[in-house]
Structure 1
Amino acid sequence: MRRPPLLLALLLLLTGCSTAHDSESSGEHWQPRPGVAWQWQLSGRVDTSVDVPVYDIDGFDQPKGTVTALHRKGRKVICYLSTGAWEDWRPDAKKFPKSVLGKGNGWKGERWFDIRRTDVLEPLMAARFDMCRKKGFDAVEPDNMDGYKNSTGFPLKAADQLRYNRLIAKLAHDRAMAVGLKNDLDQIPELVRDFDFAVNEQCAQYGECNAMKPFIKADKAVFHVEYELPTSRFCAQSRRLKLSSMLKKYELGVWRRAC
Structure 2
Amino acid sequence: MPPATRELPMRIRPRARAVGRGLRRALPACLALALAVPLYACRVELARPGAPTTWPAESVRRWQWQWQLTGALDPGVDADVFLLDPVATTAAQTAELRSRDRRLVCQVHVGSVLPTDPDADRFPARVRGSASRRPESSWLDVRQWDTLRPVLADRFRLCRGKGFGAVALADADGYAHRSGFPLDFDDALLFNRRLAELARALDLSPGLLGNTEQVTALAPDFDFAVDEECVRLRRCAKLLPFVEAGKPVFHVEYTGSTEDFCVETVGYGFASIRKDRDLDAWRVACPVL
**What TM-score results when the alignment is normalised by the length of structure 1?**
0.87
Instruction: Spell out, residue by residue over 1:122-150, the C-alpha distance to the aligned partner (whole angstroms, 9 max, x if none).
Output: 11000111111111101001111211111
Long gaps (5+) in structure 2: 1-46
* 1:39-54 correspondence to structure 2 within 5 Å: 39-54=66-81
1:62 shift after superposition: 0.8
Moved over 6 A (4+): none
Query: What RMSD in Å do the two structures reach over aligned CA positions?
Result: 1.5
Instruction: Spell out, residue by residue over 1:40-87, the C-alpha distance to the aligned partner (whole angstroms, 9 max, x if none).
Output: 000112100011111010011111111111000110100111111111
Does 2:195 correspond to 1:171? no
CA contact (8 A) 1:246 1:257 kept: yes
1:107 shift after superposition: 2.2
- Partners of 1:255 and 1:72 lie apart in 2 by 22
Does 2:83 correspond to 1:59? no
Q: Pick closer, same or farther for the CA change 1:235–1:173 going to 2, 3 Å.
A: same
1:157 shift after superposition: 0.8
1:34 corresponds in structure 2 to 60
Instruction: Spell out, residue by residue over 1:10-43, the C-alpha distance to the aligned partner (whole angstroms, 9 max, x if none).
Output: xxxxxxxxxx9xxx9xx76422642311000001
Given candidates 88, 99, 103, the residue that maps to 2:130 is: 103
CA contact (8 A) 1:55 1:75 kept: yes
- Partners of 2:275 and 2:97 lie apart in 1 by 21
1:258 corresponds in structure 2 to 285
2:255 corresponds in structure 1 to 228
Name the amino acid aligned to 2:146.
Answer: D
Given candidates 153, 157, 164, the residue that maps to 2:184 is: 157
- Partners of 2:115 and 2:282 lie apart in 1 by 27
* 1:181-192 correspondence to structure 2 within 5 Å: 181-192=208-219
Name the amino acid aligned to 1:211.
Answer: K
Given candidates 234, 242, 249, the residue that maps to 1:215 is: 242
**What TM-score results when the alignment is normalised by the length of structure 2?**
0.78
Name the amino acid aligned to 1:73.
Answer: R
1:232 shift after superposition: 2.8
Question: How much identity, in percent, do the aligned residues show?
Answer: 37
Helix, strand or coil at the partner of 1:77: strand
CA contact (8 A) 1:30 1:177 kept: no
CA contact (8 A) 1:60 1:90 kept: no
- Partners of 2:53 and 2:84 lie apart in 1 by 18
CA contact (8 A) 1:59 1:79 kept: yes
1:248 corresponds in structure 2 to 275
Helix, strand or coil at the partner of 1:224: strand
Name the amino acid aligned to 1:66.
Answer: Q
Q: Pick closer, same or farther for the CA change 1:28–1:96 going to 2, 3 Å.
A: closer
1:184 shift after superposition: 1.1
Q: Pick closer, same or farther for the CA change 1:213–1:93 going to 2, 3 Å.
A: same
Helix, strand or coil at the partner of 1:255: coil
Given candidates 156, 160, 167, the residue that maps to 1:133 is: 160
1:74 corresponds in structure 2 to 101
Helix, strand or coil at the partner of 2:182: coil
- Partners of 2:148 and 2:88 lie apart in 1 by 21
- Partners of 1:47 and 1:189 lie apart in 2 by 35
1:90 corresponds in structure 2 to 117
Instruction: Spell out, residue by residue over 1:132-186, the C-alpha distance to the aligned partner (whole angstroms, 9 max, x if none).
Output: 1111101001111211111101000111000000111111111221111111112
- Partners of 2:197 and 2:71 lie apart in 1 by 31
Deviates more, 1:179-188 or 1:68-77: 179-188
Question: Greater relative contact order: 1 or 2 (C-alpha under 8 angstroms, separation 6 or more)?
Answer: 2
User: Which has the higher Rg, Structure 1 or Structure 2?
Assistant: 1
- Partners of 1:153 and 1:70 lie apart in 2 by 40
Instruction: Spell out, residue by residue over 1:173-224, the C-alpha distance to the aligned partner (whole angstroms, 9 max, x if none).
Output: 1122111111111211111110000000010001100111100010100010
